[in-house]
Amino acid sequence: MTTTDFNHRHQRYADPETLQVSLIIPARDGSASLNTTVREAYAFLSKHYPNSFEIILVPNNSVPNNSPLLKDPTQQVAEQLAASIPEVQVIPHLPPLPPGKGAALRTGFLASRGKWIFFTDADLPYDLEFFCRAADHLQSGTDLVTGNRRLAESHFNIPVDLLKLAYRRHCLGLAYNRLVRCFLPIRTTDTQAGIKAFSRRLATQAFERQICPGFLFDLEVFLTAMGFGYRQVELPVTLYLNSEKSTVRIVRECAMVAIWLTRITWKYLRKGYKN
């Protein structure tokens, strides 16, 4: 299977809406903070959506099919959480499915039952209060609510030793956003914030059109919402930054941007994100 082959013909998107919220959390590389993240999310969702939510954990370490899953720390932690919290289910994202954050989110969505689809990162860098405000917009008919770290009302909590690295990452993010907007009619100044809320109909349309298995899938979400005329809202966020990506990882991601931005732009020009 290639990275662009998601075998859509054999997948089911229109699952019954039997719950209000499905929170999808892709996780990889052990995800040391996953236990804390899930327990905080469980407490939050239990308060706001009692008996009407699920938390879907998607281990995304891309271990071979013949590898013992118990050797995967992410899988272990996720299974332990599912054993102790009934609302948690584990949906591993494994080969031959293509690796990547976007592909893992799709795997989680295919198993979901919620009317609303929430997403956040495994290290829970954002204040979950975002979802309270997002729910108000979804309830009133908005289909896409995204966090925007570059709004004036957003707040960052960063340790002093990460300030320089975080600032460089911030500048790189601004450059990336300008590049995206040179090729695509996306208005937001922050496409990649790791906290979003979708209506089920938008999620269905976006994942049906997905070609990028990695982090640029966010662009496909924005393009699908625009192509179908769905309402979009962006909200300020509170970000807690306790670690930053390595330079090597950033360089590798820049190479992927060149490849996938070209492919997504080509699909957009061919009207691939419209009805």
Domain boundaries, the chain: 16-269
Per cent of the chain over pLDDT 90 is 69
Query: 248 or 61: which carries more pLDDT confidence?
Result: 61
Summarised one tens digit per residue, pLDDT across range 76-125 is 899 999 999 999 999 999 888 898 999 999 999 999 999 999 999 998 89
Residues paired with 199 in a beta bridge: 116
* Residue 188 confidence (pLDDT) above 60: yes
* Residue 62 confidence (pLDDT) above 70: no
- What tokens does 263 get? 């492919």
Summarised one tens digit per residue, pLDDT across range 160-172 is 988 888 888 888 8
Question: How many Cα neighbours within 13 Å face the side chain of 83?
Answer: 6
Give me the pLDDT at residue 136, please.
98
Distance linking the first and last C-alpha atoms of the chain:
26
Q: In what order do the strands lie in the sheet with 88-90?
A: 88-90, 53-59, 19-27, 114-120, 195-199, 144-148, 232-236
Amino acid letter, 53? F
Q: DSSP label at 126?
A: B
SS3 108: helix
Alpha-carbon distance of 143 to 233, in angstroms, equals: 8
The alpha carbon torsion through 5, 9, 11, 17 (nearest 10 deg) reads: 130
Summarised one tens digit per residue, pLDDT across range 20-54 is 999 999 998 766 689 999 999 999 999 999 999 99
Give me the pLDDT at residue 70, please.
46
What's the pLDDT band for 248 if we cut at 50, 70, 90?
very low
Give me the pLDDT at residue 179, please.
94
Alpha-carbon distance of 189 to 181, in angstroms, equals: 9
The angle subtended at Cα 208 by Cα 202 and Cα 211, nearest 5°, is 115
- What tokens does 9 get? 């013909």
Q: Exposure of 150 by Cβ count < 10 A (0-12 exposed, 13-18 middle, 19+ buried)? A: middle
> What pairing do the DSSP bridges indicate for beta strands 19-27 and 238-240?
unpaired
Query: 9 or 71: which carries more pLDDT confidence?
Result: 71
Cα Rg of the chain, angstroms:
18
Q: For 117-137, what is the mean pLDDT?
A: 95
* Residue 66 confidence (pLDDT) above 90: no
Q: For 144-148, what is the mean pLDDT?
A: 98
What's the pLDDT band for 9 if we cut at 50, 70, 90?
very low
Give me the pLDDT at residue 11, please.
57
Please state, rounded to an integer, the average pLDDT across all residues of the chain: 88
Query: 137 or 257: which carries more pLDDT confidence?
Result: 137
Name the CATH topology of 16-269: Spore Coat Polysaccharide Biosynthesis Protein SpsA; Chain A (3.90.550)
The alpha carbon torsion through 265, 270, 273, 275 (nearest 10 deg) reads: 170
Alpha-carbon distance of 31 to 163, in angstroms, equals: 23
Give me the pLDDT at residue 4, please.
46
Q: Exposure of 10 by Cβ count < 10 A (0-12 exposed, 13-18 middle, 19+ buried)? A: exposed
